[in-house]
């Protein structure tokens, strides 16, 4: 095995792989423990939202990911004709990327291994103990023998039945639904036109998504069969009958690659951190897959947590930085659970009043002014972390930063997301005299990249802003001016390096 890891990530799903790739790319020794012998061939989640693609772009992984998927700008509304137009988004990725989860894991695993993370398969965590110096795990291999693993931190990304969460004594409260849905990856002799298609009717809902390789994902919510026990295997005949009854046409379903009946839970961990143990992804929260948000929220968890762990392990984290992971991510997942629960209840109800509501919503979403906010919500672009209480904060603080072209003096044009690939803060100073950029030179040069000039056409952006490594705006210039920036640098980046303090004092004299 590689040198003793600073972080052990338990679980090699999208969340764990993203986290490990982030840590290893920053030079943090990282080991992934995965109980599966190989990547699952099941597709499970099947798409990436524009915001997830932006996060991958901030790490230089978006283009390689797009090559494995199918970009699609139109999300079906459920009447077979209308759609949500993702092409209207202010993003470099104005589409949903249709892509089976096993292919997503393939891309993320290659990234993690290339960055230097170590992946150990057939490794099941059976014991966990915390000490002042870190966490010790008891791990069982395929041969039944156990060994010990030790690291400064352990992150449980091991799914709904998380061993890390259970062994750490963290609660996972919520509810289970009593109705089942069917998903299947199949081939179609008569695919719909356009191939991304959805119909919601009195009998239920069928959604069709192409993978671009001749196979399709079917999601079938058949109200006549929602009480079928989970133990009853899905048959091709059942899928054909349900789809024909709901759509009213025969798609020529054949060659099933995978079929599954599932019921979902709505649960969330009561805390995301217990000492040196943290949770992310499905180990921290799980919900009905309405809206396809599960994988997205997990990747967001990983990107948010990674830079804070890196700061802790590199020794520059200000007090409370690691606790801000739960403070920011727990409310996001809680809101996602609430929204997906409402959407699912709306989807499964056969009551006449709700059918009328569905029709009215579908009609209203054909109006551009109403549709755009909904598209932004589905795309993930409305995410916001709470700004500091009582602070003189710019309205952009806590929000995702848009990608902007930086026409830097004496340098080639560069996008802001490309600068974020250094995994450091980025200060964008558009003032002619660079009065904010000079602050960074007082001891924060090792943690902050300075970008002078550029983006003059973006009147929606302030003259200067500080962007966190995860692409979230930490500060925008307000009437507080330079002192406001200094306060934010202390809050997020810690104090200035000692070597720069004398120089700063001399400059102030």
Q: Please provide the CATH number assigned to the domain covering 7-46+100-175+266-329.
A: 3.50.50.60
Q: Which structure tokens are listed for 408?
A: 């830097």
Q: What is the dihedral of CA 85, 91, 93, 96, to 10 degrees?
A: -40
* Residue matched to tokens 């990327």: 97
pLDDT for 266-295, tens place per residue? 899 999 999 999 999 999 999 877 656 789
What whole-number distance in Å separates Cα of residue 140 and Cα of residue 446?
A: 41
The pLDDT value recorded for residue 457 is 63
Looking at per-residue pLDDT, the higher value among 203 and 421 belongs to 421
d(CA 436, CA 452): 9
Two domains, one topology: 181-263 and 405-508: no
Report the pLDDT value the prediction gives residue 195, as an integer from 0 to 100. Answer: 93
Answer whether residue 45 shows pLDDT above 60. Answer: yes
Q: How many CB atoms lie within 10 A of CB 80?
A: 17
**Average pLDDT for residues 451-479, to the nearest whole number?**
85
Asked if 428 and 486 touch (Cβ cutoff 8 Å), the reply is no
Q: What is the mean pLDDT of residues 64-82?
A: 91
Q: Give me 65's structure tokens.
A: 């990911």
Q: Are 375 and 84 in contact (CB under 8 A)?
A: yes
Strands 172-176 and 181-188: unpaired
How confident is the model over 372-405, as pLDDT tens digits?
Answer: 999 999 899 999 998 776 667 889 999 999 998 8
At 338, the pLDDT band (50, 70, 90 cuts) reads: confident
CA–CA gap between residue 441 and residue 438 (Å, rounded):
5
**For the chain, how big is the Rg over CA atoms in Å?**
24
Reported as a single tens digit per residue, the pLDDT across 475-489 is: 998 876 888 899 999
What is the pLDDT confidence band of residue 2, given thresholds at 50, 70 and 90?
low
Task: With cut-offs at 50, 70 and 90, classify the pLDDT of residue 55.
Answer: very high
User: Across residues 5-18, what is the average pLDDT?
Assistant: 96
Instruction: Note the pLDDT of residue 290.
Output: 60
What is the pLDDT, as a whole number, of residue 351? Answer: 67
Q: What is the mean pLDDT of the chain?
A: 89
DSSP state of 472: B
81, 74 in Cβ contact below 8 A?
no
Written in H, E and C, the secondary structure of 444-468 is CCCCEEEEECCCCCCCCCCCEEEEC
Rounded to whole angstroms, the Cα distance separating 189 from 421 reads: 44
Structure-token pair, residue 451: 């970008």
pLDDT the model gives residue 341: 78
pLDDT per position as a tens digit, 300-330: 999 999 999 999 999 999 999 999 999 999 9
pLDDT at residue number 494: 94
Cα–Cα distance for residue pair 98/259, rounded to 1 Å: 18
**Could you give the CA distance from residue 98 to residue 471 in angstroms, rounded to a whole number?**
24
The CATH code that applies to domain 405-508 is 3.40.30.120
Q: Which CATH number fits domain 181-263: 3.30.420.40, 2.40.50.140, 3.30.70.2450, 3.40.50.10140?
A: 3.30.70.2450
- How far apart CA 116 and CA 36 sit, in angstroms, is 20
- Does residue 425 surpass a pLDDT of 60? yes
On the question of pLDDT at 508 being above 50, the answer is: no
Residue 347 near residue 200, CB atoms below 8 Å: yes
Residue 86, SS3 per DSSP: helix
User: How far is residue 41's CA from residue 183's CA, in Å, rounded to a whole number?
Assistant: 14
* CA 505 vs CA 180, 271, 316, 447: distances in Å: 67, 43, 21, 20
pLDDT bracket for residue 506 (50, 70, 90): very low
Please state, in angstroms and rounded to a whole number, the distance separating the CA atoms of residues 414 and 408: 8
Using the predicted structure, report yes or no on whether residue 260 has a pLDDT greater than 60. yes
Instruction: Identify the pLDDT of residue 509.
Output: 26
Q: Which pLDDT score is estimated for 382?
A: 94
Task: Report pLDDT for 410.
Answer: 64
Q: Give the helix ranges, DSSP H, for 91-180.
A: 101-115, 163-167
Separation of alpha carbons 282 and 314, rounded Å: 28
Q: Is the pLDDT of residue 125 over 60?
A: yes
Residue 43 has pLDDT above 80, yes or no: no
Domain ranges for the chain: 7-46+100-175+266-329, 181-263, 405-508
- pLDDT of 366 above 50: yes
């Amino acid at each position: 095995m590689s040198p003793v890891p600073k972080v052990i990530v338990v679980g090699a799903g999208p969340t764990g792989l993203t986290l490990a790739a982030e840590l290893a790319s920053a030079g943090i020794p990282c080991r992934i423990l995965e109980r599966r012998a190989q990547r699952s061939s099941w597709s499970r989640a099947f798409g990436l939202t524009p915001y997830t693609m932006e996060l991958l772009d901030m790490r230089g992984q978006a283009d390689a990911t797009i090559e494995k998927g199918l970009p699609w700008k139109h999300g079906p509304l459920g009447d077979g004709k209308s759609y949500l137009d993702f092409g209207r988004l202010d993003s470099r990725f104005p589409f949903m990327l249709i892509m089976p989860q096993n292919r997503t894991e393939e891309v993320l695993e290659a990234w993690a291994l290339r960055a230097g993370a170590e992946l150990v398969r057939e490794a099941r965590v059976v014991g966990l103990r915390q000490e002042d110096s870190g966490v010790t795990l008891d791990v069982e291999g395929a041969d039944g023998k156990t060994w010990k693993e030790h690291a400064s931190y352990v992150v449980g990304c091991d799914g709904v039945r998380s061993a890390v969460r259970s062994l750490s004594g963290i609660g996972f409260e919520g509810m289970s639904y009593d109705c089942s849905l069917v998903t299947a990856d199949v081939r179609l002799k008569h695919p719909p036109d356009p191939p991304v298609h959805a119909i919601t009717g009195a009998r239920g809902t069928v959604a069709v998504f192409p993978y671009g390789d001749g196979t399709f994902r079917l999601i079938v919510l058949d109200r006549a069969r929602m009480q079928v026990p989970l133990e009853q295997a899905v048959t091709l005949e059942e899928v054909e009958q349900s789809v024909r009854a709901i759509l009213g046409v025969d798609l020529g379903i054949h060659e099933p690659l995978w079929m599954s009946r599932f019921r979902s839970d709505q649960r969330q961990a009561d805390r995301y951190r217990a000492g040196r143990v943290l949770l992310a992804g499905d180990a921290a929260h799980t919900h009905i897959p309405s809206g396809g948000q599960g994988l997205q929220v997990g990747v967001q968890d990983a990107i948010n947590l990674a830079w804070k762990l890196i700061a802790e392990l590199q020794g520059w984290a200000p007090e409370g930085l690691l606790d801000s992971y739960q403070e920011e991510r727990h409310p996001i997942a809680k809101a996602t659970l609430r929204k997906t629960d409402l959407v699912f209840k709306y989807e499964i109800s056969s009551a006449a009043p709700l059918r009328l509501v569905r029709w009215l919503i579908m009609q209203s979403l054909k109006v551009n002014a109403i549709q755009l906010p909904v598209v932004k919500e589905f795309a993930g672009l409305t995410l916001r972390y709470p700004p500091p209480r009582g602070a003189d904060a710019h309205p952009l603080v806590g929000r995702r930063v848009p990608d902007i072209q930086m026409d830097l003096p004496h340098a080639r044009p560069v996008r802001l997301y490309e600068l974020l690939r250094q995994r450091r803060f980025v200060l964008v100073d558009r003032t002619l005299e660079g009065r904010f950029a000079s602050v960074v030179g007082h001891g924060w040069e090792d943690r902050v990249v300075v970008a002078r000039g550029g983006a003059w056409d973006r009147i929606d952006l302030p003259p200067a802003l500080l962007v966190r490594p995860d692409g979230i705006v930490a500060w925008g210039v307000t009437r507080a001016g330079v002192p406001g920036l200094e306060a934010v640098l202390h809050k997020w980046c810690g104090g200035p390096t000692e070597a720069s303090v004398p120089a700063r004092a001399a400059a102030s004299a």
